[in-house]
Chain A
Amino acid sequence: MSDLPDLAFVAAAYGVILTAVGVYAFTLARRLRAARAAAAPPEDAEAADTGDNQPA
């Protein structure tokens, strides 16, 4: 068995995992908020729909 690590080494190993999980969770929350904002209908629907996107 090699030299055993101290508690700081183990805490650093935990820190890497918790940081990764935290970054992923934060990114998820931000992406979900952005997707909801994009999916929400515009406040002035009539002004936004000019008819230009209709097929000719």
Chain B
Amino acid sequence: MAMRVLGVSAVVAVIGAVAFALFVVPADLNQGDAQRTMYIHVASAWLAYLSFGITALASIWWLVRRDPRADAVALAGAEVGVLFTAAAIWAGMMWGKPVWGTFWQWEDPRLSTTALLLALYVGYLLIRRLTDEPARRATRAAVVGIIAAIDIPVVHFSVIWWRGLHQPPTFGSPDTLLNPPAPGQFVAALLLMLGAFMVAWLWMMITRYRLARLEWDAEEAARRRALPVLAPPPVDTRAEPRAERMHEPMP
């Protein structure tokens, strides 16, 4: 019931945030309607960071505790993160073409490192398909999940460390959060989109986590059925006791 409420809330929130971003907030003076793409672009990018960060933490949790719940959290974060990374890239491209004059430029560090981030976590999901043994798969994935997380701060700070098409972060410090260098309506649209997407993100994370837990249990059960050698031998009550056989005379 709670998940149903969360799901309905997510749908309502996303519809409201999108309507606000598209029809209520005025167009930007210089960028026109193209600027509206930023609301969904930035919200998606931040949720991608959050998802992959959770995957990294859950991966460490798995390696330390070998808890199947950790692997389920890591998988949920990676899968949902890939979705939001793809969304952020798509929205960025749709903004870049009219404003920068190009959909993509490999020389831009932010674009290149974000593409790498997407590739790393798609690879993470592919590596999970290499083995049917849940524990071995979780260990391999955890190592990849931790290594891939190195790219998260690289993506974020790439606009500060190197020069490219991307502008430095608009909300790069607590001071800019309190005194945003953008009109209040623009900031409200961004925060509204972020909040709405976060509700949807939470629903997807919990649902994917629950699915992963069921898949783990089903795989473990299937593995136990497929390995009869490792199962304890069935007790045959009709066989004569072993102790009596030992006292039989030698032939």
Contacts and interface: CB of A to CB of B under 8 A. Distances in A.
Contacts, number: 94
Interface string B184-206: 00000000000000001001100
Contact of B90 (A5, A11, A16, A38): A16
B83 A39 contact: no
Interface in B1-23: 7, 14, 18, 21-22
A45 interface: no
A20 B34 contact: no
Q: How large is the interface on A (under 10, 10 to 19, 20 to 34, 35 or more residues)?
A: 20 to 34
A14 B33 CA distance: 12
A7 to B, nearest CB: 5
A14 B22 contact: yes
25 contacts: A1-B99, A4-B31, A6-B33, A10-B37, A11-B22, A13-B40, A13-B90, A13-B91, A13-B94, A14-B18, A14-B21, A17-B44, A20-B83, A20-B86, A20-B87, A25-B7, A25-B200, A25-B204, A28-B207, A32-B207, A35-B215, A35-B218, A55-B231, A55-B233, A56-B228
The 5 closest A-B pairs by CB, nearest first: A55-B228, A13-B94, A4-B32, A35-B214, A17-B87
Interface of A: 1-7, 9-11, 13-14, 16-18, 20-21, 24-25, 28-29, 31-32, 35-36, 38-39, 53-56
Interface of B: 7, 14, 18, 21-22, 30-34, 36-37, 40, 44, 83, 86-87, 90-91, 94, 97-99, 101, 200, 203-204, 207-208, 210-211, 214-215, 217-218, 225, 228, 231, 233-234
